[in-house]
Amino acid sequence: MKLYADDLIALLDQLGWKKRVYLIGPVGMGCGVAQEVVLSRPDLVRSMVNMGCWSSVDDYLRDQLELFRTVHREVGFYAFQQFVCVYSFLPEFYNQNKHRLLGPDGEWGELRDNYVTHERLVDACLAHNTADRLKDITVPTLVIHAAKDMVTSPRTTLPIEQGIPDAEGVMMKDTAHVVAGKDQKIEFCNILFSFLDKH
């Protein structure tokens, strides 16, 4: 994640970016990258939003990520795609949208025929650890918790809220790993814009 953060910092510096940026990580690696940017260059950041995130990997999350990778490697991309979609969406959304989520034009398509990228992605996720540095984050931070997330549940997001001084936290009670569907997107946007209006 640090490498991605360094790339983003270098890009902003190269562009001569003058305004501080909003870092919004709605799920996964983007949150880890945002944490690393904020820790390295808080002067570049106006505020940070994390959701579906972690600050360190416990055995449960490690085994989930390894299992996603193993299914992709041993059974194939489409088995992985189905497996990760079942974990990432609420049953109602999955049942109504399975035809859009799965297949050649479905979710995580960038990993099809690209196992090496998936392997590197998981390695980066497993190596991410900011737990002992959260206390050093000084920018306004919002952590959104997805109560029905089977991957990065409040088990992994609450420690981030609790570890960052003055962080705000909001629970989305009926949301899984991916914000999906009109109602969830409206709820997410209302939470997000309320926070951004203050910061």
pLDDT, mean of residues 9-20? 94
144-156: average pLDDT? 97
pLDDT 10s digits, 182-197: 999 999 999 999 999 9
* Shared domain check, 133 and 43: yes
- Indicate if 138 and 169 belong to the same structural domain: yes
Task: Name the domain boundary from 105, 122, 139.
Answer: 122
For residue range 67-99, what is the model confidence (pLDDT) as tens digits? 999 999 999 999 999 999 999 999 999 999 999
Is 71 in the same domain as 87? yes
Using pLDDT thresholds of 50, 70 and 90, give the confidence band for residue 149.
very high
Structure confidence by residue, pLDDT tens digits, 101-137: 999 999 999 999 999 999 999 999 999 999 999 999 9
- For residue 77, which amino acid is it? F
Could you tell me which residue, 18 or 196, shows the higher pLDDT? 196
Evaluated on CA atoms 190, 191, 193, 198, the torsion sign reads positive
Amino acid at 15: L
pTM, entire model:
0.94
Asked whether 156 and 57 are in contact (CB, 8 A), the reply is no
What's the pLDDT at 18?
86
Q: Are residues 185 and 154 in the same domain?
A: yes
Q: Is there a contact between 192 and 168 (Cβ–Cβ < 8 Å)? A: no
- Residue 107's contacts (CB-CB under 8 Å, 6 or more residues apart) are 81, 84, 85, 88, 101
User: pLDDT by residue (tens digit) across 29-75?
Assistant: 999 999 999 999 999 999 999 999 999 999 999 999 999 999 999 99
Residues 78 and 42 in one domain: no
d(CA 56, CA 129) in angstroms, rounded, equals 4
The domain boundary, picked from 103, 122, 141, lies at 122
Number of domains present in the structure of the chain: 2
Q: Same structural domain for residues 80 and 46? A: no
Note whether 99 and 193 are same-domain residues: no
Boundary (domain end) residue, out of 87, 106, 122: 122
133 and 190 share one domain: yes
179 touches 185 (CB < 8 A) = yes
pLDDT of residue 27: 87
The DSSP output letter for 152 is S
Query: What is the span of the domain harbouring residue 27?
Result: 2-56+128-198
Same domain, 137 and 167: yes
The CATH number given to whatever domain includes residue 12 is 3.40.50.1820
Minimal CA–CA distance to 31: which of 58, 12, 55, 14? 55
pLDDT at residue 26 greater than cutoff 90: no
Q: Do 191 and 154 have their domain in common?
A: yes
Do both 70 and 113 map to the same domain?
Answer: yes
